[in-house]
A and B are shown apart, each in its own frame.
Chain A
């Protein structure tokens, strides 16, 4: 589904990704953990080309994406959903308009059909009663659930989550994680960058630990959390668990 090969990225002189190889299989939930500055968010943003990178390739659904081909990148993004740390909802649109914007404007689905899709996914995230509300009227947790519904509205084959709960008040984290858990149990392919170790342990098929622009260790949650083999992983986990 996703194949990242020898990916390298520099921010100016700063070498932030130093050769990443990553495979994500259909229906797999991959959770990326690591300290801030380890490059995990940058890696996620390189997968859908929101971030430019200098070396390596990204292959999605069997196609190597050409970074100079805008059309190809736009087409790829229609089936790679993304959820951001700061939600990035469109403040000038209602909740329902946020969700149908992609289907109607990008996929050119008829308005009626897009509304149907929009309502379906809002119900899925438990926000049917907020259709006509504006994002400013919602709590952080509700905003993030709308953002998830917006990404799902495009009916993507994979979802990328960039620290989806990091900007939330602690009591609102649960509702977002539970939506993500439901999604995972339905077989959605997911790549999640997070600091929520409980979520990683419970939901991930595979956990990846990144440090200093490299994948240091990967394995099942049991392998990573219970028997980390690499010293750096052990140190990181001992600090946060």
Chain B
């Protein structure tokens, strides 16, 4: 098998728009996922069935089905009703998908804070809401950071599935180039390099944030 190293360098620049596309889909998807995740976590923790039943259902359906299916469902399945742009669809699908996981991360983090913290806050006369905002959430966020970092890396890699609905991100780009230049291995290598570059930055960033938070008030 021939492996053309110079093709790596030659075709590298062609990937740059696709690399941006990957970041765009991932970042917007994560942003939407965070908003959905937080709202869902609170709904899930609510004692009111009006809130917690839909939250459970959402998590059940989304975690129980593949992202690829969800993408296709939105893009091809609902085309006649929604007729969304491919990029919008990818962001929504990635957002909804990650929202379910992020909700569980937040819920777990909130529930992991000892009951005594809420009791101490309430004993000072704080309302439930104030105790949540001032005492529970700051601690819960800190605990959520490592699993969130993990989830963001998963989201980044999952953005490659958007290739199935015509988004020209890294993976689709590599396939398109390979089909005309026949450097399949080389094109996949370039895409892989980009993914590794992104995940390294993510990992480093999460590590830095953890370090910073550890200094200010660890347990």
Chain A positions within 8 Å of B, measured between CB atoms, are 48, 50, 70, 74-78, 80-82, 84, 86, 88-94, 101-102, 105-107, 134, 136, 147, 150-151, 154
B123 x A82 contact (CB < 8 A): yes
What number of B residues sit within 8 Å (CB to CB) of A? 23
**How many inter-chain contacts with C-beta < 8 Å in the A-B complex?**
76
Measured between beta carbons, the chain B residues less than 8 angstroms from A70 are 127-128
Chain B positions within 8 Å of A, measured between CB atoms, are 114, 116-117, 119-128, 130, 134-135, 138-139, 142, 216-219
* From A48, A76, A80, A84, contact of B116 by CB (8 A): A84
Measured between beta carbons, the chain A residues less than 8 angstroms from B116 are 84, 86, 88
Question: What's the least CB distance linking B140 to chain A, in Å?
Answer: 10
Main secondary structure on B side of the interface with A: helix
B126 x A106 contact (CB < 8 A): yes
* From B128, B135, B142, contact of A90 by CB (8 A): B135
* From A102, A136, A147, contact of B125 by CB (8 A): A102
> What CA separation (Å) do A90 and B127 show in the bound complex?
16
Measured between beta carbons, the chain B residues less than 8 angstroms from A94 are 217
Measured between beta carbons, the chain A residues less than 8 angstroms from B138 are 92
Residue of A nearest to B117 (CB): A88
Measured between beta carbons, the chain B residues less than 8 angstroms from A107 are 125
Q: A88-B114, A91-B139 are in contact. Are A78 and B219 (CB under 8 A)?
A: no
User: Which of A70, A74, A75, A147 counts the most B-chain CB atoms under 10 A from its CB?
Assistant: A74
* From A75, A90, A106, contact of B117 by CB (8 A): A90
> What CA separation (Å) do A75 and B117 show in the bound complex?
19
> What CA separation (Å) do A93 and B134 show in the bound complex?
10
